[in-house]
Amino acid sequence: MDSQEESSSSFYKTTYTDQSDSEADNINTSSTTNLISSKKKRDRNKSSFVWKYFKVIGDKDVCQIEIRKDKKCGQEYLHDKSISNMISHLRVQHNIVDNKRLKSEIQQIRQTTLPDIIKTNIPHKGAKRKEIVKAVIEWILLDDKPLSAPRKKGFRRMMSKIDPKFRPPSDRFIKSEMEFSYLRNIEFLRQEIQTSCETATITADLWTSRKNEGYIGVTCHWITPNWSLRSVLLCCEKMEYPHTAESIYQFLLKKCNEFKLDNKTIYAVTNNGANMTKAIQL
């Protein structure tokens, strides 16, 4: 019995030892592979121009540029196989750049011929120009930019990189295109209300700006025969004083007639201002 237990114990010890040795061999093999891979990456990076100015000391990359007699820069970066920090340091602190890359870019510029320059700078015409101008106008409207934004230095510089053939439109042209687009969309909205709206609800609000000018906004909401909800802005316009119930009523009546909503509006929602509530009751 004792000999059987000894044999069993010896078997387990041998098996455990063999497994441990195998795991250790795997770990050592993996570590060796990682070290070889890291070394290869470091060797590839050593071809960069930064190693003319940096030296590996321990686990640090140390700048060796003399900033004054008997004193080196000494800026340190963790030796993590990345050289981007060193490139940035050389450019910002020592005004040193990669001469090979700089020469390549200069050579590329010199090889650009006059016909290429002329071809690049011929402005867009026709459909292509209209497409880009439309996109610019949408950007102005959606991001609430001034009409002069496309002529600003930053926008022009950005567009020269994206599309050198684009020429920014004038303020007058942008304004005329906006007015035309507004009239076209108003007509489209009238047709949409006429064909898909049976009954509607309007909301109205009146407020005063910091310049003490009155503005009124009116929205319209309805459900189409296909059970699709529609919510649109009918107007947001300046309203002259006095803001009496009668003047508000006349304004709302005018807008309902303009969009042919006079026989379709069944509800109106406003705030609890005395002039607004009285205007709806009229």
- Give the pLDDT confidence of 147-173 residue by residue, as tens digits: 888 888 888 888 888 887 888 888 888
Is the CB of residue 191 less than 8 Å from the CB of residue 203? no
Q: In what order do the strands lie in the sheet with 76-78?
A: 54-57, 60-63, 76-78
pTM of the model as a whole: 0.49
Q: Is the pLDDT of residue 41 over 70?
A: no
Average pLDDT over residues 11-27: 48
Tokens representing 158 are: 């950005």
Alpha helices in the chain (DSSP H): 2-45, 84-94, 99-110, 114-120, 127-142, 153-162, 171-196, 245-258, 274-281
* Confidence grade of residue 104 (pLDDT, cut at 50, 70, 90): low
Paired tokens of 220 = 């319209």
Instruction: Output the six-digit token pair for 25.
Output: 């061999």
